[in-house]
Structure 1
Amino acid sequence: MACLFLFEENSTMDHCFALRTLLFFGFILNTFSQVREFHYINMSKTWDEARQYCREKYTDLAKIESKEDISRLSAPFSYTWVWFGLRDDPQSWKDTMGSDANSWRWSTSGETGQTAYHTWSLGEPNYIDANETCVVMTGTGQWADRTCSLQRNFICFTITERNEKEYVHISAQETWSSALTYHTDLAMIENEAENAEARNANPATSEVWIGLYRVPWIWADESQTFFQPWHFSLNNNGGKQHCGTENNVHQWADEDCGARRPFICHRVLTKLTIVRIKSVTDIDWTDPAVNSQILQQLGALLTHRGWTDLKLRWKRLPSKNHKEKCAKSECKSQV
């Protein structure tokens, strides 16, 4: 097997990875990885003002995605809570369908609807106690958000041969997630006629699950977050706490975005790592398909080892004959 020798300053990773694939001598691989550098700003601003400041002076409000990121938040601060880059923007989900990463989407596709149709009950959705991210149809045929762990009957649907939706009521009491395992999928409703058909499928007047849900909280760059060290106080108090704050022991909580607080910015630093590769094989590495496959394999391996935001590309080293010709003609070798 061949080894990849990764040369990077201050690297804490192994410098030799054994791969099953043997690589052709005469190539180098340039990798560009991004590391976030964090900065505490001792200025009181609203969340929007803090984001604007960070984007002007740095890269953005702080994006914190791992314990490793938290370990780089080494600068001490005495403030109880400070802003960082997490937000659950109500303009994306309150009384609308939206298209952002934390907007409502359908279970059958995991995507927002093809239409903007919705029929929310008055005052819904309201995300009570920061815990309502699944949707029911009420007895009147209107929609409301509910805690996903509640047990309800539900409406499923299938697509007929005429490419029409057919709705079926299931009388079992299930949580929203458990209801997904029945029939084909929870009801997807994209216009008034479909909503009426789904309502007619419900013989009772009680609430039933439909296939609408959302994943709350996204970063300022609109990417989703899976690392969430929430403090117990996450509660959307007063129905207006939609921005993320962090305390001095790196616990997170929600807060009114209009409150004025210090904040954390980050700056993205790009690092170039040159990987020199050699091996013994007769595979044709000039084949673009082979090159592409190896880059995918390397990207997956390095991501597994903790590298993030990688950009990989091949660069051909000049041959020995080319170097000799350049030496004679006093040309510059382009490496």
Structure 2
Amino acid sequence: ILQKLYPNMMVCQLYEYHYIRELKTWTEAQQYCRENHTDLATVSNMADMKRLLNNSAGNMNEAWIGLYDQTYGDRTWYWSLPGVEFNETNWKPGEPNDIRTENCGIISNPLKWGDNGDCKEKKPFICYDDNLVLVQEKMNWANALSYCREHYHDLVTIKTLEEQILVQEKAKKASTPFVWLALRYNCTKKFWIWVCPEGVTERTMNSDGEVDDCNISGAMDTGGQHKWFQINGGEEFNFICSKI
């Protein structure tokens, strides 16, 4: 989102994939993922998916992912996670071919999608976790950052529409009108950054060593359209931490 406008932004990992070797139908796989993780995989990060398959999937041929079509008419594909729009494609050549009105998505090596005509066929599958924790204590931005880094990994970052949806679902349960994000504004250089542990701290140093301390941070609205706002970092709100 803001990364396209501000190329100096740094981003942190928000979710992780899990390859499940058990053989299940697509519906059984979806139920398993929702009970034990977040959902069947929405494959928007092909770099992470490649690492998963290289490290743990062995000689995987095909696996269910959270891609489906249930229109039985004009072919319209959806992701299993509610609210995530299907707007990027990575189909194998010739797919989807709609043989036998295929309705369930698979991923295979190399990393390409396909459609499968028998959703009741049993296959391994890929789940993922959102790795998010809503902390319902009220803290200013700097204390929220310190809390997340001490107890989890960091304040949450958002870099895709999918991640926006995951975060706003957590934010709906907050007790404050906003939740803090790991978003910080450098008043001197006039750009926003995502503050990751390997990046800058909550106080941004200028090139000449002077501390930029305008104390403006980013927060998400919890009760409306879940837009981002710039707010004085001294305000106290709930916040969302990432676990990895």
Give the TM-score taking structure 1 as reference length.
0.38
SS state of the match for residue 82, structure 1? Answer: strand
Structure 2 residue corresponding to 1:265, chosen from 127, 146, 161: 127
Hey, what does 2:24 align to over in structure 1? Answer: 45
Structure 1 residue corresponding to 2:67, chosen from 81, 86, 92: 86
Considering Cα pairs closer than 8 Å and 6+ residues apart, tell me whether 1 or 2 has the greater RCO. 1
Q: Is 1:243 matched with 2:104? A: yes
Q: Residues 37 and 266 of structure 1 are in contact (CA less than 8 Å); yes or no, is this contact kept in structure 2?
A: yes
Hey, what does 1:277 align to over in structure 2? Answer: 186
Name the aligned partner's letter for residue 277 of structure 1. N
Query: What are the superposed Cα offsets for residues 50-105 of structure 1, whole Å, 9 maximum, x if unpaired?
Result: 0011011110000012434534535342121000100011xxx23xxxxxxxxxxx
Structure 2 distance, partners of 1:59, 1:263, is 13
Map 1:285-300 onto structure 2 (within 5 A). Answer: none
Distance 1:261 1:317, change over 3 A: closer
Q: Residues 37 and 269 of structure 1 are in contact (CA less than 8 Å); yes or no, is this contact kept in structure 2?
A: yes
Aligned-residue identity in percent:
29
Hey, what does 1:304 align to over in structure 2? Answer: none
Q: Which has the larger radius of gyration?
A: 1
Structure 1 distance, partners of 2:189, 2:77, is 49
Map 1:167-316 onto structure 2 (within 5 A). Answer: 216-222=76-82, 223-232=84-93, 234=95, 235-239=97-101, 241-255=102-116, 256-270=118-132, 272=155, 273-279=182-188, 312-316=228-232
Hey, what does 1:153 align to over in structure 2? Answer: none
Structure 1 distance, partners of 2:37, 2:128, is 6
Query: Runs of 4+ in structure 1 displaced over 6 angstroms?
Result: none
Unaligned runs of 5+ in 2: 133-153, 156-181, 191-216, 220-225, 238-244
Q: Residues 33 and 311 of structure 1 are in contact (CA less than 8 Å); yes or no, is this contact kept in structure 2?
A: no
Structure 2 distance, partners of 1:232, 1:79, is 19
SS state of the match for residue 228, structure 1? Answer: coil
Task: Give the count of matched residue pairs.
Answer: 148
Q: Residues 50 and 111 of structure 2 are in contact (CA less than 8 Å); yes or no, is this contact kept in structure 1?
A: no
Hey, what does 1:14 align to over in structure 2? Answer: 8
Q: Residues 38 and 62 of structure 1 are in contact (CA less than 8 Å); yes or no, is this contact kept in structure 2?
A: yes
Structure 2 distance, partners of 1:39, 1:249, is 18
Unaligned runs of 5+ in 1: 1-5, 7-12, 17-31, 95-124, 126-132, 134-214, 282-293, 297-309, 319-332
Distance 1:278 1:238, change over 3 A: closer
Give the TM-score taking structure 2 as reference length.
0.50
Structure 1 distance, partners of 2:50, 2:114, is 19
Query: What are the superposed Cα offsets for residues 124-164 of structure 1, whole Å, 9 maximum, x if unpaired?
Result: x4xxxxxxx4xxxxxxxxxxxxxxxxxxxxxxxxxxxxxxx
Q: Residues 66 and 227 of structure 1 are in contact (CA less than 8 Å); yes or no, is this contact kept in structure 2?
A: no
Q: Residues 76 and 248 of structure 1 are in contact (CA less than 8 Å); yes or no, is this contact kept in structure 2?
A: no
Structure 2 distance, partners of 1:72, 1:316, is 39
Q: RMSD of the TM alignment (CA)?
A: 3.7
Q: Residues 36 and 266 of structure 1 are in contact (CA less than 8 Å); yes or no, is this contact kept in structure 2?
A: yes
